[in-house]
């Protein structure tokens, strides 16, 4: 006859077993919540802070071989200095931040950008940088599925509207669209009122956004866009002879540029050499101090200005002072300041998420709502998670080439706003996906 345990004894055995299983599952779940993708209890590689864990952030940038390599490399340097200062100041919620392990060179190539994202995605909490408007837009669906928040190393106007960026992309400063509007106001006040404007811009969302702002300005101020010329990097199109010929045929009195530095130098140099007697105004990625070593240097120095959304290396803002103090040498170009400035929103997000116990990808995305990062006077940071930007808060810095100034350019107007932007009533991205 088989022995049967009394019911009370069976319950006494089963209950502790079930309790142990529940406890184990809860512990496993807690572990997954604490250490999801990109967050570990182990210190960051090479960190001296052995009592801290590590937050891994990804970087997708032109770090060599592409049209924006000098800018991308310098932006990366600025971000490295920024996060190193964060780590030296105590880290975030018991963690240091690492943006080196999963930094990848995309050479501004869309396919490489996507492949690199797929490679690092399982290992990072967020992206510290995604360089390229088209490249970043192309990843939005995948980022949405992955709950991957990113810092935009691009000023497309859609990043300022939640209907376009899905609460995934953190940005700082103006958009390319509003950059053109404020830049044209400044140009009119300080040079002359342009009547016939030609635009030479990379095809795609960057050039389209900048051109859209110029068109809005022209319509509001009685000017004409006499030509909108699409181009691409010389690595794709060979040279800029076609755009130069079109500008000359259009009889423009001002040329707006949204191109890479190499194309800027070629267009300006060839136009002036061909007898063009107008001036040039460039979007922020058009300039690099190395252009002062090209044959176009005299023409650029005499006739070219460009705008940025960031108080630069020699600026007086608290942020600019902190950026200077973080390194012991003058950076190669303006990208350093830009990389530093665009990092403020992600720092604020990580701090808020850590305080809320939300250091996971879905947690970061939830925490974006109504976040109000501080740009330390170095850059305007719109409230993250807001449905639209506060355009009245936007300003720009205007530079002119100067070989005696830091990084070959001197700020001649800081905090400029102008009057046209407030009259336009912009309520949505200037260009759509």
CB-based contact 133:204 (threshold 8 Å) = yes
Compute CA distances 403 → 222, 262, 329, whole Å.
36, 18, 17
In the predicted structure, residue 1 carries a pLDDT above the cut 60: no
CB-based contact 76:83 (threshold 8 Å) = no
15 pLDDT band, cuts 50/70/90, is very low
Angle, vertex CA 255, rays to CA 253 and CA 260, nearest 5:
165
Per the listing, tokens 């200077």 go with 324
pLDDT number for residue 371: 87
Q: What percent of the chain has pLDDT over 70?
A: 92
In tens, the pLDDT along 85-118 reads 999 999 999 999 999 999 999 999 999 999 999 9
- What are φ and ψ of residue 153, in 5° steps? -95, 50
- What CA–CA distance (Å, rounded) separates 180 from 146? 34
In tens, the pLDDT along 186-215 reads 999 999 999 999 999 999 889 999 999 999
In the predicted structure, residue 16 carries a pLDDT above the cut 60: no
Q: What is the mean pLDDT of residues 416-420?
A: 97
* Helix, strand, or coil (residue 266): helix
**Maximum distance among all Cα pairs of the chain, rounded to whole angstroms:** 112
In tens, the pLDDT along 346-388 reads 999 999 999 999 999 999 999 998 788 999 999 999 888 888 8
- What CA–CA distance (Å, rounded) separates 377 from 382? 13
433 pLDDT band, cuts 50/70/90, is low
pLDDT number for residue 10: 39
pLDDT number for residue 127: 98
pLDDT number for residue 384: 83
CB-based contact 223:197 (threshold 8 Å) = yes
pLDDT number for residue 35: 64
The pLDDT mean for the chain works out to 91
In the predicted structure, residue 8 carries a pLDDT above the cut 50: no
In tens, the pLDDT along 274-298 reads 999 999 999 999 999 999 999 999 9
In tens, the pLDDT along 102-160 reads 999 999 999 999 999 999 999 999 999 999 999 999 999 999 999 999 998 999 999 99
pLDDT number for residue 370: 73
Q: Where are the alpha helices (DSSP H) in 257-378?
A: 261-273, 297-303, 318-325, 335-341, 344-355, 361-367
pLDDT number for residue 405: 93
Q: What is the mean pLDDT of residues 36-60?
A: 96
In tens, the pLDDT along 220-232 reads 999 999 999 999 9
In the predicted structure, residue 24 carries a pLDDT above the cut 60: no
- What CA–CA distance (Å, rounded) separates 299 from 269? 6
CB-based contact 169:185 (threshold 8 Å) = no
């Amino acid at each position: 006859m088989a022995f049967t345990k009394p019911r009370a004894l069976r319950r006494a055995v089963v209950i502790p077993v079930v309790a142990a299983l529940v406890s184990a599952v809860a512990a496993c779940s807690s572990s997954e919540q604490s250490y999801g993708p990109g967050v570990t209890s182990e210190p960051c590689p090479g960190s001296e802070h052995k009592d801290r864990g590590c937050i891994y952030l990804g970087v997708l940038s032109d770090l060599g071989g592409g049209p924006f390599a000098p800018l991308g490399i310098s932006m990366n340097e600025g971000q490295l200095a920024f996060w190193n200062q964060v780590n030296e100041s105590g880290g975030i919620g018991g963690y240091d931040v690492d943006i080196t392990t999963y930094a990848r060179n995309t050479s501004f190539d869309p396919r490489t950008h996507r492949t690199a994202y797929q490679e690092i995605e399982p290992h990072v909490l967020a992206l510290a940088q995604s360089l390229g408007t088209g490249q970043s837009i192309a990843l939005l669906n995948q980022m949405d599925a992955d709950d991957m928040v990113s810092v935009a190393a691009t000023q497309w106007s859609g990043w300022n509207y939640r209907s376009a960026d899905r609460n995934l992309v953190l940005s700082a400063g103006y958009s390319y669209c509003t950059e053109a509007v404020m830049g044209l106001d400044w140009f009119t006040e300080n040079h002359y009122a342009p009547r016939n404007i030609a635009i030479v811009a990379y095809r795609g969302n960057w050039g389209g956004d900048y051109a859209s702002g110029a068109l809005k300005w022209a319509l509001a101020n009685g000017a004409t866009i006499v030509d909108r010329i699409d181009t691409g990097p010389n690595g794709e199109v060979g040279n800029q002879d076609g755009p130069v010929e079109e500008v000359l045929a259009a009889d423009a009195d001002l040329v707006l540029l949204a191109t890479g530095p190499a194309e800027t130098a070629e267009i300006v140099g060839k136009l002036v050499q061909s007898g063009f007697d107008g001036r040039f105004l460039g979007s922020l990625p058009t300039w690099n101090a190395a252009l002062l070593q090209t044959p176009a240097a005299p023409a650029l120095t005499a006739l070219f200005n460009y705008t940025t959304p960031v108080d630069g290396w020699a600026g007086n803002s608290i942020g600019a002072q902190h950026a200077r103090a973080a390194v012991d040498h003058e950076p190669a170009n303006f990208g350093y300041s830009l990389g530093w400035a665009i990092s403020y929103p992600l720092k604020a997000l990580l701090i808020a998420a850590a305080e809320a116990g939300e250091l996971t990808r879905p947690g970061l995305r939830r925490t974006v709502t109504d976040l109000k990062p501080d740009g330390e006077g170095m850059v305007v940071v719109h409230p993250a998670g807001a449905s639209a930007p506060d355009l009245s808060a936007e300003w720009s810095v205007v530079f002119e080439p100067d070989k005696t100034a830091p990084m070959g350019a001197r700020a001649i107007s800081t905090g400029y706003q102008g009057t046209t932007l407030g009259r336009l009533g912009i309520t949505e991205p200037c260009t759509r996906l």
